[in-house]
Every structure is written in C-alpha cells, then in structure tokens.
Amino acid sequence: MLNRRINCLEGPPTVHSFFPIFAKVLYNSYDIIVVGAGHAGCEAAAAAANMGSKVLLVTMNMQTIAQMSCNPAMGGIAKGQIVREIDALGGYSGIVSDVSAIQFRMLNRSKGPAMWSPRTQNDRMLFAAEWRKMLEQTPNVDFWQDMVRTLIMSVDGKRVEGVVTGMGLEFRAKAVVLTNGTFLNGIIHIGEKQLGGGRTGEAAAHGITEQLVKLGFESGRMKTGTPPRIDGRTLDYSKMEVQGGDAQMGKFSFLDGTSPFENSDKKQLPCHVTYTNEKVHEILRTGFEKSPMFAGRIQGLGPRYCPSIEDKITRFSERERHQLFVEPEGWDTVEIYVNGFSTSLPENVQNQALRMIPGFERAKMFRPGYAIEYDYFPPTQLSLTLETKLVENLFFAGQINGTTGYEEAACQGLMAGINAHLKINEKDSFILNRYEAYIGVLIDDLVTKGTDEPYRMFTSRAEYRLLLRQDNADVRLTPLSYKLGLANEDRFKKVEEKISNYNNIISYFKNNSGDPEYINPYFEKIGSSPLTQKWRYFNILSRPDVSIKEISNHAEEVKNLTAHLDEFTIEQAEILMKYEGYIEREKDNADKQKRLEDLKLKSDFNYDAIISLGTEAKEKLKKFKPNSIGQASRISGINPADISVLLVHMGR
C-alpha cells in the first residue's frame, strides 16, 4: 500500500507529504532546485528546464513570481543590450517585456550605435502574469510555495544535495541555484520604523546566511530603496512635460509575433516629467534627523547611480531641482511610480514634500517609499559559471551577488541555470567572454573584481561596446544558444538568413556605384557636395546624414535590393559599413584578449613556486584562482609585470 501510494505521487508534495515517512522518499527526483522566483530565479528555472533538467522552483509566494518590485520598466542604458542578449540566448525576459509593454523608446539615438539602448515601460501585473504563464507552460518546471530554511549538504560538507523548507520538507537535487533577492535577513526602513521583510508585506528569509557563513562564506549587507506609489487620479498632468514613446513601437525579442504592438498606430501610454524645487528640499531636510540613512541605522551601501532623494539633495546641494519621471504602472491601474524619488524618510515627510512638486499638489499616496537592507555574498567567491568555489553544485544569481536591477539579475539567472544543467550532466561549462556579451562583462566584473556596492551595468564598463551592440545580439549569441539546445533550428536559420542578407547589401555597396544624375539631387537637399563621377555606394554611405533608406529612394537598384528586407537587417548593414574601421580595430583588440583568455590556469596552480612573483600577486592569485591569464590580468593588484612573469613561466 505504501509503495503504491508513493508511485502515484509526482512533483511537489500534497498534504499527505507532511508525514516524515514520505519526505525522504518522494523528492529525490529533481535535477535542479531554484530558490526564489524573481527575475534571476525565473530565467534560471526556464533555462535549465528547456535544456532538459527537471526543475523545482521554490518561492515564498506564488502570487509574486517575477514581481517588478521597483520601477515598472525593462532595459535602458546597457540594460537594454542585456535583455536583447538574454533573448538571443533563449531566455524569456525579452518576450515577456514585449507582451507587457505599454511604451517603447530607443534611448541615445543621437549618439553612435554602440550607445543605442532599448527600453520598455511595462504593465506590472501583466508582466508578472505573463512570466508565470510561460513558466507553467514550460515542461520540466514544478513549483512549491514555501521558504527555504537551510541547504542539505553532503556528509563532508563540500557538495549541496537539496533544501529543507520552513515546513520541514526535504527536497533533494543534484544542484541548487540561490536567487534570494533582497529577502536574506531583509529589514525595511521607513523613518524610525524598522520592519522585517524582503519586500513590503512579505516576510524576510532566515537561516541560509547563517548556514553559509558557518560553511566558510563571507557575507555583507547592502541597501536599496523604492519611491512612494501615487494615485494617478490626484495628479495634474497639465503641469508636467509629456514623455511619449517612439513613433514606431519597437520590441526586445528577435522572435516574430511576440508583441501585440508592431505598428506605429498601436496605442502607447505616455510618461511625464516634473521636477523638485527648494520647497521640496526644505521639507525633506526636516526629516533628516529621523532618516535611517543619516542616523546610521542602515549599515549597507546603496546604489551609487540610483541614490535616494535625500542623498541627492545632500550630495548635490548646489542643484535647485532634480528631475522626476512619473511612470504609469499599467493599462488598467491608476497607480503611479515616481522614478527619482526613492526615499526612506518618515511617511508624513514624504507626503508633505510630494505636494510641493508641480502637478502633485493634491497627490495621495498608495504607500510610502522605503529602504531595504539585506545580506549578499561578495561574488569573488564564485567561479565564472556562477558556481560557488566552496560548495560544489551550488550556484548564486542576482542580488545575492551584489547586483541591482532586473536585467542584471535575469542574465545571471540564465547563466546559472545553463551552467547548473551542464555541470550535473558532466558537460563543458558555458562562459561568455568580455568581447562576446555584456553578460560576460558583468559576470567577469563581479567574479574578478568583486563589488562592495550594488553593481549596475553601464556601456562604459564594456571595452568592446561597438561589437556588443543591441542590434547584433542575435548574431553574436544565437549560434551559441543553438549549440546549447536552447534556440531551435528555425530561430538559428533566421539568424543565418539575416547574416546572409546584410552581407549581400554590404557586398553590393562595395562593388557597385551610384550615378551622380540620381544621387546629386539628394546631396543638394542635405547640403552635401555633389558627385562629379560615379562613386561606390559604400563611399556614398560614409557621408554624414546619408542612409541606405535615403539612397534607395534615389537609386532604383538599391531599392530593389532592400525592398524585401526588414528594418533590423538594413540597419545592421548600415552600421557595419559606416563604422567598419572602428569595428575592425575592436575586433583586433578582442583577438588579442582572446589569446590571453585561451591561456588557461588550473585552480591548483602553484603560484608560490614562481619566485619572481610579488607577494601581493601571489596572495591575490591564490585567493581568486583565475581560470586564465586574461582573467588574472584584470584582478586588482595584479600588474603587467606579474602577467609577464606568468607568461614566461608558462613558456610564452
């Protein structure tokens, strides 16, 4: 009777499973357990499951899967590139963002293509609902609502073997991915009030930090914050600047048909811009003595590039005003997110200050802003696969590694899920280099340099940003995803077709010439020097303000060449031709870097045996255990002379 009952039960436990006799028998079948269902956890679960692993996603609340805890937006400067890379690798973030988008903007269009960054404003509830639907439709993903209290360790304490939940249930697995977000010993601060929690209205998670510290991990504290939410019916938008989306509703995903907004006539919701003033600042200052940040009750460091409003008026006291973005939370809600007004001041001070902002004179709060302090683990304790160095088959992703932002968390989750699957199946790990993806830059920065403040991605962090553009993420990464089994053959063939199409354009432009008779009227119109003879289209395109689209309007053969091609393909051909010299230079530098990355260093390399190495270099190399000469060269404290010594020692 007992065996028959066990065989009938599959997946997460029923109420009968609370009996200890079942607990150790039923749950040995999972390949990977993902703890936490935020952006990192969702991508980790989806990636591992789509590669064939049986995954259990454990979350404290099934109603907050993929919750947008802060601003209702995806992408932005460098972050948009990451979302495109996630999509190219087979992740879900781009698809979900497109489906839930209420506005799309391509930022930095006035700058070069390396800086162009897509961003969507999203319907918060639709975003979470779509993520949950996609996960529920993904084979191999099971769910369980509970808090994870501790990890199950091997007898020698060197390998993770599962988790124990708050209910006392044991779930066994070959690998565990921790994506705990801000929940590890989280404390919410509002003025002098302190509340235990990982997010407003949700409990903090206890037990994991303490266990990991006992295992030898180093932990720290970080801080982040969020602004108050406002009733949009109480705002006067006539006193604010309108910030609309692009005329043509764009999308993140390279897949076709994932977004309902593919035409310029589709509706978008506007955002608005307003500003603080001296009256606002004066009121905010009255609450400083009760501020947890200034009173020293918050020990963790907050994000440098997303400071609270009280931090702004202190650090930039010379400024008379600060910009605020008034962002709608969705299609069917009046809730408004006040981007730029993150604060942990007392709620009455927040309310008074808000009403001094133009357009906010009658504003009503739905809830006040707050700061949250939480545990993280310095990411230098990880390998480039995001597996911990101390415990085998244990992976960290997201804010537990000291990052901030949905996009940074999601890409880590994707990579952790991929590598957890590869590890338990004894396959080679999947590591993206700095010249291959922004994701590679982010993970290399974390693992090699570490961080003592919330890490946020910027284009300036990437040495090869002209190679790592948002428009070519599919070309760079989909072939790799196809080899992993995440991208299907149809998607791979579309990328191959795109490459063939833009190469055909480039070849035609390099080998065919434009006739002055047809091109000169256009040159006269834009104030450019007329042609005196036929010129290669490639050279014509190199002129400022000249585009393939405009050339096609004045050259029938170019129009015929590009008529059947999509805008992405044409744009990519144009970028590759206009910036050919710069791109080739970056490729040369990337090739040099690749040669250093190809020189591998074993984890048990005996640095003490190299007499010429300095003491600091030996200490750093033994601590970080770089996997290549390239990675070693980026460790703080390792200088070019140390690298030369290593190269000589290796016979190079």
- The reported pLDDT for the residue numbered 299 is 66
| pLDDT at 139 (0 to 100) | 95
Mean pLDDT for the chain overall: 90
Task: Assess whether pLDDT exceeds 60 at residue 18.
Answer: no
pLDDT of residue 292: 73
Predicted confidence at residue 16, as pLDDT, reads: 36
Task: Kindly report, residue by residue over 577-632, the tens digit of the pLDDT.
Answer: 999 999 999 999 999 998 999 999 988 889 998 988 888 888 889 888 898 999 99
Tell me the pLDDT tens digit for each residue of 449-472. 999 899 999 999 999 999 999 999
Q: How confident is the model at residue 14 (pLDDT cuts 50, 70, 90)?
A: very low
The mean-pLDDT minimum among 233-237, 240-244, 524-528, 538-542 falls in: 524-528
pLDDT more than 90, % of the chain: 73
DSSP assigned state of 269: P
Which of 556, 502, 366, 410 lies closest to 66, judged by CA?
Answer: 410
d(CA 46, CA 90): 9
**What is residue 300's predicted lDDT score, i.e. its pLDDT?**
63
CA distance 430 to 383: 12
DSSP3 helix / strand / coil % (the chain, rounded to 5): 40, 20, 40
The whole-number pLDDT of residue 7 equals 36
For residues 263 and 45, which has the higher predicted lDDT (pLDDT)? 45
pLDDT of 12 strictly over 70: no
pLDDT of 24 > 90? The answer is no
Q: Give the residue-averaged pLDDT of 35-55.
A: 98
- One-letter amino acid identity for 395? F
Predicted confidence at residue 5, as pLDDT, reads 31
Is the pLDDT reported for residue 650 higher than 60?
yes
Alpha helices in 89-207 (DSSP H): 93-99, 124-136
Which string of DSSP letters, residue by residue, matches 9-36? --SS--GGGGSHHHHHHHT--EEEEEE-
Bridging pattern class, strands 55-59 and 141-145: parallel
Q: In which band, very low, low, confident or very high, does the pLDDT at 353 lie, cut at 50, 70 and 90?
A: very high
Confidence (pTM): 0.91
pLDDT-derived band of residue 10, with 50, 70 and 90 as boundaries? very low
Q: Give residue 317's identity as a one-letter amino acid code.
A: S
Residue with tokens 């450019």: 528
Domains defined along the chain, listed by start: 229-370 (2.40.30.260), 489-585 (1.10.10.1800), 599-649 (1.10.150.570)
Residue 295, pLDDT score: 61
245 touches 84 (CB < 8 A) = no
Q: Among 303-307, 439-443, 517-521, 604-608, whose mean pLDDT is lowest?
A: 303-307
Cα separation, 623 vs 615, in Å, equals 12
Task: Indicate the Cα dihedral angle 618, 619, 624, 630, nearest 10°.
Answer: -30
| pLDDT, tens only, 511-566 | 999 888 888 888 888 888 888 899 999 999 998 889 999 899 888 999 999 999 98
pLDDT (mean) for 159-176: 96
Give strand pairing partners of 535: 514
The single-letter DSSP state of residue 193 is E
Least confident range of 14-28, 265-279, 479-493: 14-28
The whole-angstrom separation of Cα 132 and Cα 161 is 27
Q: What would the mean pLDDT of 209-222 be, rounded to a whole number?
A: 96
Task: Band the pLDDT of 417: cuts 50, 70, 90.
Answer: very high
Per mean pLDDT, which range of 97-106, 175-184, 603-612 is the poorest?
603-612
Q: In the 3-class helix/strand/coil scheme, how is 511-570 assigned residue by residue?
A: HCEECHHHHHHHHHHHCCCCCCCCEEHHHHHCCCCCCHHHHHHHCHHHHHHHCCCCHHHH
Provide CB contacts within 8 A for 414, sequence distance 6+: 43, 44, 47, 86, 89, 91, 439
Given a cut of 70, whether residue 8 has pLDDT beyond it is: no
Cα distance from N-terminal residue to C-terminal residue, the chain: 68
Residue with token string 């039960």: 9
**pLDDT band for position 297 (cuts 50, 70, 90):** low
**21 vs 391, more confident:** 391
